[in-house]
Amino acid sequence: MASANDLHTLISSNDLATRLGVSRATVLRAVARGLLRPALVTPGGHHRFLAGEANPAGGGLARLITSREAARLLGISQQTLNRAVREGRLQPASVTPGGHRRFAMAEIAEGSAYGAISNQRTR
């Protein structure tokens, strides 16, 4: 729970979503899954977060990127990335309820995923 001094720095789930560049629904799903923890839940059930937690470089939610972003960072097509996942050469960090893959930014950025993809099939 937030202290009295922190109450003036709390932001809503909608504000947090805007700062992170995701939808409010994504923030609420992350709360439900335990990836984000609100500093305060109001009596009406609204989630409030510390403004300092809205740093896109940190936090479990901000470290996940789409398959399009991962492919762009790796310098390959999205189809090649999806093929690598289907063949078991690359594992997504999570899969959304709609079936969309999310990849760990740290894993993609450090290049460990590139090794798994670079040994592609020959035709």
pLDDT by residue (tens digit) across 38-65? 999 999 999 999 887 655 444 545 578 8
Does domain 64-118 fall into CATH 3.30.300.20? no
Q: Which residues lie below 8 Å from residue 102, measured CB to CB, with a gap of 6+?
A: 64, 65, 66, 67, 92, 93, 94, 95, 96
pLDDT tens figures, 84-96: 999 999 999 888 8
Residues listed for the chain: 123
Q: What average pLDDT does the chain have?
A: 78
| Beta strands at 40-41 and 47-50: parallel, antiparallel or unpaired | antiparallel
The stretch 59-72 carries a mean pLDDT of 75
Per DSSP, the three-state class of 47 is strand
| All structural domains of the chain with their residue ranges | 7-53, 64-118
pTM value is: 0.48
Per DSSP, the three-state class of 73 is helix
The stretch 92-102 carries a mean pLDDT of 88
What span, in angstroms and rounded, lies between the C-alpha atoms of 31 and 25? 10
The stretch 8-21 carries a mean pLDDT of 85
